[in-house]
């Protein structure tokens, strides 16, 4: 390398010594006023547009996706599950992503099929789809999950490939077949009407992000069985109080409107565990009284 070469070092985002202000979850400040009017989580919209651009499929990948969609008879409505996912062909699609191999006992807890299917059933109940086929697109690294869902939930049409799930095992995860499988799972998950997953999974978060680029506002079209949404390497993740709250004991804390909060966890009983930066208190608050805080930052000039 001579002195005229320009070299750029790109370390892991987690290890940046001087992280720039426009790292996630920052949003360009010139976009925030408009985004806030139609989207519930502006950062997700912003990162979704970037990912849609970066992940434009080449001709061979487009052919792979088209053939898979035709073979699976992918239609809406459908829910995506990611054992992480689930799929369909009429106007709503539910996807379920269920991951069971390398994550369990290391990065995430085990979640049963029943835990994944409960939000699926709640989603379809809101549509009042009585007497109609309920579809899920299932993305998983455990082929046995297909049999389990079909046995326990016979009224659901399960779309997905048990054969492809075999290529996501630890032994074959880096094969060409495994790469094709993960590309298809991400594609179909992101095209669903609703996603059930674990946000400890990068696939679940990625599908949720890309999903925003194909909908006006899909910020609430998900159910995570574990973590709140986060972006790996994010500088911070703040919520803000939109309603005041007075603690009634039982581990709760007080809130004033506009209090800035560090989020820890959302619970299924309608409460969230947070730390109030103003008071330093940590405890539970009603989830409906808080929302994502948008971080607007002056980005470098872009066309």
DSSP string of 81-150, one letter each residue? EEEB----SSS--EEEEE--SSSBTTTB----HHHHHHHHHHHHHHHT-TTS-EEEEEEES-THHHHHHH
Please tell me the CATH code under which domain 41-229 is placed: 3.40.50
Burial (CB count within 10 angstroms: exposed 0-12, middle 13-18, buried 19+), residue 158: buried
Give 276-300 pLDDT, tens digit per residue.
Answer: 999 999 999 999 999 999 999 999 8
Eight-class DSSP state of 293: P
Within 10 A of 10 (CB to CB), how many other CB atoms are there?
6
Query: What pLDDT score does 2 carry?
Result: 55
Of all residues in the chain, what percent carry a pLDDT higher than 70? 85
pLDDT at residue 86 in the model = 36
Q: Where are the chain's structural domains?
A: 41-229, 237-293
Record the tokens describing residue 147, joined without a space.
């049999």
Give every CB contact of residue 218 below 8 A, 6+ residues apart in sequence.
208, 211, 212
Q: Which CATH superfamily is domain 237-293 in?
A: SH3 Domains (2.30.30.40)
Q: Taking 60 as the threshold, does the pLDDT of residue 84 lie above it?
A: no
Model confidence at 88: pLDDT above 50: no
Coil, strand or helix: which one is 302? coil
Q: How far apart are CA 193 and CA 206, in angstroms?
A: 15
């Amino acid at each position: 390398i001579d002195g005229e070469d320009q070299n750029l070092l790109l370390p892991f985002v987690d290890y940046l010594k001087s992280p720039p202000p426009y790292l996630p979850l920052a949003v360009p400040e010139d976009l925030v006023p408009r985004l806030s009017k139609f989207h519930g989580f502006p950062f997700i919209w912003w990162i979704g547009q970037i990912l849609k651009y970066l992940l434009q499929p080449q001709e061979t990948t487009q052919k792979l996706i088209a053939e898979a969609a035709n073979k699976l008879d992918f239609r809406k409505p459908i829910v995506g599950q990611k054992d992480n996912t689930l799929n369909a062909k009429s106007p709503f699609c539910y996807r379920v992503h269920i991951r069971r191999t390398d994550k369990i006992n290391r990065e995430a807890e085990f979640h049963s099929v029943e835990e994944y299917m409960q939000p699926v059933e709640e989603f379809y109940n809101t549509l009042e789809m009585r007497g109609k086929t309920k579809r899920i697109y299932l993305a998983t690294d455990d082929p046995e999950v297909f049999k389990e869902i079909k046995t326990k939930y016979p009224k659901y049409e399960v779309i997905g490939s048990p054969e492809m799930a075999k290529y996501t095992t630890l032994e074959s995860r880096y094969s060409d077949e495994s790469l094709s499988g993960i590309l298809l799972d991400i594609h179909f998950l992101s095209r669903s009407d609703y996603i059930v997953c674990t946000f400890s999974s990068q696939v679940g978060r990625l599908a949720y992000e890309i999903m925003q680029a194909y909908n006006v506002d899909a910020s609430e079209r998900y159910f995570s069985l574990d973590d709140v949404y986060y972006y790996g390497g994010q500088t911070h993740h703040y919520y803000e109080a939109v309603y005041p709250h007075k603690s009634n004991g039982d581990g709760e804390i007080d809130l004033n409107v506009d209090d800035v909060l560090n989020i820890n966890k959302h619970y299924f009983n309608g409460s969230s565990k947070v730390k109030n930066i103003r008071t330093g208190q940590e405890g539970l608050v009603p989830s409906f009284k808080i929302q994502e805080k948008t971080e607007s930052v002056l980005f470098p000039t872009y066309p």
